[in-house]
Amino acid sequence: MKKLILCMIAAVAGLTAAFGATAFKQDFKMDTSSYVPFDAATTLTLECPDSEGAKWIKAHFAEWFGNAAPKVVEGKTELSLPEAPADAKADRQIATYDEAYAAKVDASGVKIKARTLAGVRWACNTLRQLAIAKRGTFKVEGRILPTLTIVDKPHLAFRAVHLCWFPETRGEQIERAIRLAALLKFNYAIVEPWGTYKSEKHPWFAWPDAPLDKAEVKRLVAIGKDLGITLIPQLNCYGHASFARSSSKKHSTLDINPDYEPLFEPNGWVWCIMNPETQRVLREIIAEMHEDFGNPPYFHIGCDEAFGAQKCPLCVKGSHSEQLLAHLNGLSDFVKSRGARAMMWHDMLLDKTDPKWKNFVKFGSKESASIVDRLSRDLIICDWQYSYDNMKKKHVEWPTISYFADKGLDVAGCPWMNYLDMMTMSEHIVSKGAFGFIETTWHRLRGKEWEKMYMNAAHAAWGSPVSHGVSFQRSLRLVGRDMKIKNYLDTGYINYQIPPSYNGD
Ligand SMILES: [Zn+2]
């Protein structure tokens, strides 16, 4: 559950003031000494112009609470929602007000006000996270809620998590991560299969028995759509072409299907972009994935860490920067022709020898960084900055985000495990009118890191103080119940309490 530690409001108010970024302040008051019934005798009054809101609550209350579900009626409430300031310039700033909600719980019942189905969902998520079983009985006989009032809205319109599906990853883990992200009010999840997407057209590029087939993609997309989180597919279209971690020396194609060697540069890490067959294959897989994912508004083309390539005789000829530009703009145009925008990681676009990027992530050469001004403005730059110089420091300056934004590119700030400065990054994104916020998780989607990544990022994306403790655990458990989890391995935030390889005493 978000935002439950009121004593931290003051600290965040200080932060917001320092950046002067937002007029809105979350209003949250809760009295845990005064619980009221939240059961079949309770009436929930919903005020929302979208009739889908009431339908959504009724369906989900039946799913979550069964016979103990409160009654839902549509009607006027005395609640009010925050209004977008008159000087709001960007559509994406105004869009955050469309997701606002207000809720009130007292002895007279429960009231929710929202402008959209999205706001209704976030309000219900909040109430569900706060509801506990009625006390003093053997089994659940209804629930109770603390009396409360809340007026809330997200800080950013685009709030994503980035999820990696390795061959080692359990499918249940990805579904739990998607559902939990929605419960914590993220509205996008970028899904990056690491050789685990089963293309019908090009099955050779995945590991054998790849779990993410069409039916599974469609099932997950439908779950996300219902919960208010849009899934975005990712295909690495330059570096990371092995679809395996570099430290593993594995390659999802070349280790099993060596016939396809000409599609890659000799070391296999990078696609051979001057081979017209590579360009055909990438477009065919992008089209297939995009369609399987229900044609979402974005498609991530990867392109990070494209270093160390030993160039083939085709690619060694001509200008590297012109090759890159044609490759990236060509893919962007192709994604645009499908009605979507391409996203790419930023690192090749910053010159690693430029001292102004000291302490920031940059892997570009002078050549690769030189293409920024001629890149298609349809591309969204995903600027991953992990505070590698000092992860215990709260960084305030985010010059790389400013660099891309000032050049008129849409840019998303992407933290990882730099928990301390996620809030300052979120504030910086808002102050620059930048595109959004993407929490990356890589191979750390488990244990304490999972909790810290999700909790800190969710709160940064909503511009509110972090509350640790039982909230992640309770939220994860709600997700498990929704999935009707019965397997021990799919409970908690680790598969095993004691790893199978453990030989200690
Ligand atoms: Zn080549």
Name the stretches of the chain with pLDDT < 70.
Answer: 1-23, 88-90, 308-309, 467-470, 505
Q: For residue 459, which phi and psi values (nearest 5 degrees)?
A: -70, -35
d(CA 235, CA 288): 11
> Sign of dihedral through CA atoms 152, 156, 157, 161?
negative
Q: What is the pLDDT of residue 422?
A: 96
Q: For residue 448, which phi and psi values (nearest 5 degrees)?
A: -55, -35
CB atoms within 10 A of CB 313: 9
Ligand 1 centre to CA of 54 (Å) is: 56
Q: For residue 222, which phi and psi values (nearest 5 degrees)?
A: -65, -40
Sheet holding 341-345, edge to edge: 230-233, 188-193, 159-165, 436-440, 410-414, 380-384, 341-345, 298-300
Instruction: Report how far apart, in Å, the C-alpha atoms of 430 and of each of 248, 345, 424 are.
Output: 38, 20, 10
Retrieve residue 251's tokens. 């390659």
SS (H, E, C) 307-322: CCCCCCCCCCCCCHHH
Which residue stretches of 269-387 are H helix? 276-292, 320-337, 366-369
Q: What is the pLDDT of residue 7?
A: 30
Ligand 1 centre to CA of 271 (Å) is: 7
Q: What is the pLDDT of residue 23?
A: 63
Ligand 1 centre to CA of 274 (Å) is: 5
What is the length of the chain? 505
User: Minimal CA–CA distance to 159: which of 240, 229, 218, 225?
Assistant: 229
The residue ranges of every structural domain in the chain are: 23-83+93-152, 159-490
User: Minimal CA–CA distance to 454: which of 439, 464, 435, 437?
Assistant: 439
Q: Got the DSSP string for 30-94?
A: EEEEEEEEESTT-EEEEE-S-THHHHHHHHHHHHHHGGGPPEEEE---S---PPPPTT---HHHH
Ligand 1 centre to CA of 328 (Å) is: 15
Q: What is the pLDDT of residue 4?
A: 40
Ligand 1 centre to CA of 401 (Å) is: 31
Q: Find out if CATH 3.90.105.20 is the number for domain 159-490.
A: no
d(CA 74, CA 48): 8
> Sign of dihedral through CA atoms 62, 63, 69, 75?
negative
Domain 23-83+93-152 homologous superfamily, CATH: Chitobiase/beta-hexosaminidase domain 2-like (3.30.379.10)
Ligand 1 centre to CA of 276 (Å) is: 10
Ligand 1 centre to CA of 450 (Å) is: 38
Ligand 1 centre to CA of 139 (Å) is: 65
Ligand 1 centre to CA of 302 (Å) is: 18
Q: What is the pLDDT of residue 92?
A: 85
Q: What is the pLDDT of residue 471?
A: 83
Ligand 1 centre to CA of 417 (Å) is: 35
Q: What is the pLDDT of residue 106?
A: 97
Residue in the structure block whose two tokens are 């069964």:
66
Ligand 1 centre to CA of 415 (Å) is: 32
Q: For residue 31, which phi and psi values (nearest 5 degrees)?
A: -120, 100
Interhelix angle 320-337/276-292, nearest 10 degrees: 30
Q: Which helix (H) or strand (E) holds 414?
A: strand 410-414
Task: Give the pairing type, strands 143-152 and 27-38.
Answer: antiparallel
Ligand 1 centre to CA of 316 (Å) is: 7
Q: What is the pLDDT of residue 54?
A: 98
Ion ligand 1 — residues with CB under 5 Å?
272, 274, 312, 314-315
Q: For residue 393, which phi and psi values (nearest 5 degrees)?
A: -105, 145
**Contact between 163 and 191 (Cβ < 8 Å):** yes
Ligand 1 centre to CA of 30 (Å) is: 61
Ligand 1 centre to CA of 272 (Å) is: 4
d(CA 479, CA 398): 34
Q: What is the pLDDT of residue 498?
A: 92
User: Minimal CA–CA distance to 298: which of 222, 380, 196, 409?
Assistant: 380
At a CB cut-off of 8 Å and minimum separation 6, what does 393 contact? 387, 420, 421
Q: Which helix (H) or strand (E) holds 450?
A: helix 447-462
Ligand 1 centre to CA of 163 (Å) is: 29
* Three-state DSSP class for residue 354: coil
Ligand 1 centre to CA of 314 (Å) is: 5
Interhelix angle 276-292/214-227, nearest 10 degrees: 50
Ligand 1 centre to CA of 402 (Å) is: 33
